[in-house]
A and B are shown apart, each in its own frame.
Chain A
């Protein structure tokens, strides 16, 4: 089978300007996405994993052109969409979907669940009233929320996990070509989580949707994606097939992530966890060289220079001077 590229991301940058001081203060930039490149094939699912604040949501929203890139290129289905004006992006909105990270804030509070799901169908003139009803009911069943109980409810009447499933339903109801799912199951317990991911995966494969699954939960990535990208402080620091990352994590940050996964053991409460100290760096003034250096257990002077991205085995890339 020939792979077809759906999305090309080239040296993508998104900087947010912020002003310090009220009168004529200097402008600083939060470098939330800093020169990221990758391709996404048609129907491919990748997981994007990384520290809180590393730029995952920003990357997702920039790809969807909810933000205007500061630099780099975005090519979707052969068309350059990097700098298209919002008016010229209508077709792109139709072909893409976003599951927003915070489901509590993402839903219009005065709409019923039915209305929330029907809205994109109406806007895009899909079906008559009866057909739309069928589509809405079907998608609710797919995400395991009984329509008779949920269609009439308002968002504030739903639990966190129920809202997340509505967010997924809304993002895929138009069967888009590209979906960014930003922490779509973070509020679900393990049993429902796997169910919902399986459903999502089934729909994703059925409609050949390319998907970026943003998550901090490494253990579910293998149920969902072919590839994993690990993000740290605005950079992708490691990328490879899901199996390869799970079996041979090579960046010191990726390894620290694995070690921090808790296991169910009642003795845990009597001790403190050993984890890399400190916070991820400020993206206004990131450390010179490798951005993980201040927290890295094996850093040397060399790390004060920016590490290259090396291919340590076929299709396994690590941005580190000392891949493990």
Chain B
């Protein structure tokens, strides 16, 4: 069944409780992901991208106010699993994640090989020797000589540390890997090398990726489909071909125009107005205060998705 959904989210919410009110970081998000496909999630800082991935892999902070919706993994609703079942059956084994900024949070006093082996010992209850053998092997897979297993993180370049955290996410043999800003801390050459590696690994291990990035150009290195997130919601999803040639949501269009080019004197367009407050998001369409096409209905009523199934857009213009 090549076209089955490996993962599908329906109306997922993740709200946080704070002193000033409820932060609606993920607000009724739905999407489908086919096996072997890569979905990129783009959107501005604070729009809820990392929160959405935390919701999928169920690693939540303490101040959760609401966490619900349905998430089907191979047809089973994993939101119904208990904490223990989720940990045993899903997290790391089926879905794993490379966290934003992870390359800087490697433990400085533990050897790289031991850190890679840790998830196996911790989550898979593997014995130490076997885990350590596997760790060396997985270093090779991410293009690092296995002798580096005995080194400490500071002896590795930023690019190598990023490869190490990717190795940690792959070692449990998951089907789905969430990559949260996997290269935003790296220079463009190292970035390109890592993207090449991710492309090769994807093929070899038939992985399904969700890549979160604020960099639209970088997203095109992996994405089969792209989703735009704005103020806690997905507002557009399309195939990469459609997304880059025919972006529909006014926010996505602005995002495209703000990509800087090296030469040329293009004045960069930034998006007017300030990012929405997620405690009190604007009524109606959340983008309406900043949208140049806003109509009367936009401030009054939240738009549903319009357009065909392959390219839904949450905007009244496409009514």
Contacts and interface: CB of A to CB of B under 8 A. Distances in A.
Please tell me the size bucket of the interface on A: 35 or more
Contact of B244 (A105, A260, A264): A264
B66 interface: no
A216 B259 contact: no
Interface in A163-197: 183, 186-192, 194-195
Nearest to B214: A189
Nearest to A148: B20
B129 interface: no
A213 B300 CA distance: 44
Given A159-B45, A188-B45, A188-B214, A247 B263 contact: yes
A275 B105 CA distance: 28
Contacts of A161: 44-46, 214
Interface string B124-163: 0000000000000000000000000000000101111000
Interface stretch (B81-89, B215-223, B307-315): B215-223
B196 interface: yes
Contacts of B110: none
Contacts of A192: 44-45, 270, 275
B60 to A, nearest CB: 12
Contact of B61 (A156, A256, A257): A156
Interface in B206-258: 214-224, 239-241, 243-245, 254-256, 258
Most central of B185, B218, B268 by chain A CB within 10 Å: B268
Nearest to B257: A191
A36 interface: no
Interface in B173-218: 181, 184-193, 195-196, 199-200, 214-218
A276 B189 contact: yes
A220 B259 contact: no
Interface in A185-230: 186-192, 194-195, 198, 216-220, 223
B15 interface: no
B74 interface: no
A280 to B, nearest CB: 6
B204 to A, nearest CB: 13
Interface stretch (A46-54, A60-68, A72-80): A46-54
A191 B46 CA distance: 13
Given A188-B214, A264-B216, A266-B244, A275 B189 contact: yes
B247 to A, nearest CB: 10
17 contacts: A50-B187, A52-B158, A53-B159, A103-B101, A105-B104, A152-B20, A157-B63, A160-B181, A256-B189, A257-B187, A258-B262, A260-B192, A262-B188, A262-B220, A266-B220, A275-B189, A276-B189
Q: Which 9 A-B pairs have the closest CB atoms?
A: A161-B45, A52-B158, A53-B157, A189-B214, A266-B240, A216-B187, A191-B258, A260-B188, A219-B260
Interface of A: 18, 49-53, 101-105, 144, 146, 148-149, 152-153, 156-157, 159-162, 183, 186-192, 194-195, 198, 216-220, 223, 246-247, 256-258, 260-266, 268-269, 272-273, 275-276, 279-280
